[in-house]
Amino acid sequence: MGKKSKAGKNLASPGLLLFIYRRRVSLVIVTVTALIISVIVSLLITPRYRSGVILYPATFTSMSRSLMGPAAVRGDIMNFGLESDSERILQVLQSETIRNKMIEKYDLMEHYGIDREGRFPYTALNRKYNNNVRSRKTQYMAIEIEVLDTDPAIAASMANDMAAYVDSVVNRMLMERASLSLGIVEEEYSRLKQEVELLQDSMRIIGEMGVIDYETQAEVLNNAYANAILNRDTASIQFFGDRLKTLTDYGAIYVSLRDNLTLRNERLNDLKTVYDETRINANRAIPYKFIVDEASEAEKKSYPVRSLIVAASTMSAFIFTLFLLLLADAFRRQVLPRIK
């Protein structure tokens, strides 16, 4: 502790100022040289302009269910998304799909000056892209897309295009899945519809044989047959007996066909609803984001901040040179006498 306190006092003492004054020529030469070099270097750095888009994710919900579904499960496509929806959008923005779209549309290999015949050109391209294009969540659960570029127009256009591509990528993924589901539902709907038509044809044939409503007919015919027997009406006995025989022969078939038709019709109605919803989801695209701020061309460069570069470089050179001079002076005063 004593040595540290003593060193601190020496550092803060007028001796340090005296030392700086004695070495002022060296310090001035190095500091001015660093100043000149840093100015030259900062002027050689190509300026880049920043543009950004702020957006909120919409809720990931089925459009058909939101608009046409039962009230109990109906969503609202106008709702802002949850944190999980923000994560999905962020993952889409950072995907290879959008990266490749940007690279292709703006010919970034050429724009970034990357040699296509050089070693690992795509590695260099991806590194350059990652340095210039970023997307992140803000503290308010929004998503910020930020693009740096030497051309302010390209920076703004890329940011806006990335935001626009979100919907196309998400809708493409969802519509591919919906199209697959639509094919399955459509096939099942057609098959079930054919079964219903076949049952209806069978019911029509049974009806032509005289079986229209088994329960009602059975009650009426039994009462009429019984009355005919009581009245000893031979013609009526024969007539109602034949009708009862037909009802007996085809009644069970009628009941089975009718019950099957009822079940198939209920299933067909349910499947029709699913088919309509799936068809809408497979053929209609909806936005999955709300744009808060679109990107516009920056008027001032964002990088480099030349004054900061010059100040930091000059101060670093001064401090480093002072440290070396102090170290050399300490070596001269304490080590060399011992060696001699």
pLDDT in tens, 76-100: 555 666 777 888 889 999 999 999 9
Percentage with pLDDT > 90 across the chain: 16
Kindly state whether residue 52 falls inside one of the protein's structural domains.
Answer: no
Residue 33 lies in a domain: no
**What is the residue range of 263's domain?**
186-283
Classify residue 101: in a domain, yes or no: no
* Helix axes 24-44 and 14-22, enclosed angle (nearest 10): 70
How far is the C-alpha of 245 from the C-alpha of 223, rounded, in Å? 14
* Counted domains in the chain: 1
Examine residue 206 and state whether it is found in any structural domain, yes or no: yes
Residue 237 within any structural domain of the chain: yes
Do residues 178 and 285 lie in contact, with contact meaning Cβ atoms separated by under 8 Å? no
Contact 52, 159 (CB under 8 A): yes
What's the angle, vertex CA 131, arms to CA 128 and CA 137, rounded to 5? 140
- What pLDDT does 60 receive? 66
CA atoms within 13 A on the CB side of 126: 9
Burial class from Cβ neighbours inside 10 Å (0-12, 13-18, 19+) for residue 188 reads middle
CA distances for 24 relative to 28, 29, 231, 262, 266, angstroms: 6, 8, 143, 104, 97
Q: Tell me if the bond preceding 304 is cis, omega within 30° of 0.
A: yes
Query: Is residue 259 situated within a structural domain?
Result: yes
3-state secondary structure 271-332: HHHHHHHHHHHHHCCCCCEEEEECCCCCCCCCECCHHHHHHHHHHHHHHHHHHHHHHHHHHH
Nearest to 138 by CA among 57, 68, 208, 199: 57
pLDDT at 116: 86
Residue 265 lies in a domain: yes
DSSP H or E run through 143: strand 143-149
pLDDT of residue 127: 92
So what's the pLDDT on residue 80?
Answer: 60
Q: Is residue 289 part of a domain?
A: no
Q: What tokens were used for 227?
A: 């009355």
- 207 is written with which tokens? 């009806």
**pLDDT below 70 — which residues of the chain?**
1-14, 42-45, 60-81, 225, 303-306, 335-340
Cα atoms in the Cβ-side hemisphere of radius 13 Å centred on 131: 12
* 67, 120, 215 from 106: Cα distances, Å: 38, 20, 76
**pLDDT value at residue 144:** 92
d(CA 136, CA 308): 26
